[in-house]
Amino acid sequence: MKQYISFSFMAAMLLLSLHHLQDSEAAIQCSDVLKDLSPCSSYLSTGSGSPSTACCGGLSAVVSAASTTADRRAACSCIVSAMSQNSPNITAAAALPGLCGVTLPFPISANIDCSKIS
């Protein structure tokens, strides 16, 4: 069952990445954000345990790639869209940056207005 949930999560993320429109100024692509965060799917679906090293590395990669305001907004929009499509454990998602020791330039929340990120 866990494998089915992970596969479903990954399939939904792939479909989302194919349909997600990016801000033309942003260099970061939603497909890259989703690929980087894919190792987090198990942690985000269960909300238990700790995120894997690969998950934290992926989150760090997203932060590194989101070097401009447009990139940060695009990454935020991608994460918010993925959250609305996949219904992860919201508490686990919000705790992810702190557990990974990564400073994300925006909180992970389904209710964030990504257009206000600088």
Q: What is the pLDDT of residues 56-88, one digit of tens each?
A: 999 999 999 999 999 999 999 999 998 888 888
Report how far residue 16's alpha carbon sits from residue 5's, in angstroms, rounded to the nearest whole number.
Answer: 16
Domain segments of the chain as ranges: 2-18+30-116
Which among 37, 23, 53, 24 has a CA at the least distance from the CA of 85? 37
What are φ and ψ of residue 71, in 5° steps?
-65, -45
The per-residue pLDDT for 3 is 52
Report how far residue 85's alpha carbon sits from residue 10's, in angstroms, rounded to the nearest whole number.
Answer: 11
Report how far residue 68's alpha carbon sits from residue 50's, in angstroms, rounded to the nearest whole number.
Answer: 29
Report how far residue 101's alpha carbon sits from residue 118's, in angstroms, rounded to the nearest whole number.
Answer: 21
Report how far residue 77's alpha carbon sits from residue 99's, in angstroms, rounded to the nearest whole number.
Answer: 22
Residues 81 and 16 sit within 8 Å (Cβ to Cβ): yes
At 55, the pLDDT band (50, 70, 90 cuts) reads very high
The per-residue pLDDT for 29 is 94
Q: Best-predicted range by mean pLDDT among 27-36, 82-91, 109-118?
A: 27-36
pLDDT higher than threshold 60 for residue 13 = no
Report how far residue 3's alpha carbon sits from residue 81's, in angstroms, rounded to the nearest whole number.
Answer: 22
The per-residue pLDDT for 115 is 93
What's the mean pLDDT when you consider all of the chain? 82
**Cα–Cα distance list, 26 to 60, 71, 78, 81, 113 (Å):** 18, 5, 12, 16, 17
% of the chain beyond a pLDDT of 70: 78
Chosen CATH of 2-18+30-116 out of 1.10.150.530, 3.90.180.10, 1.10.230.10, 1.10.110.10: 1.10.110.10
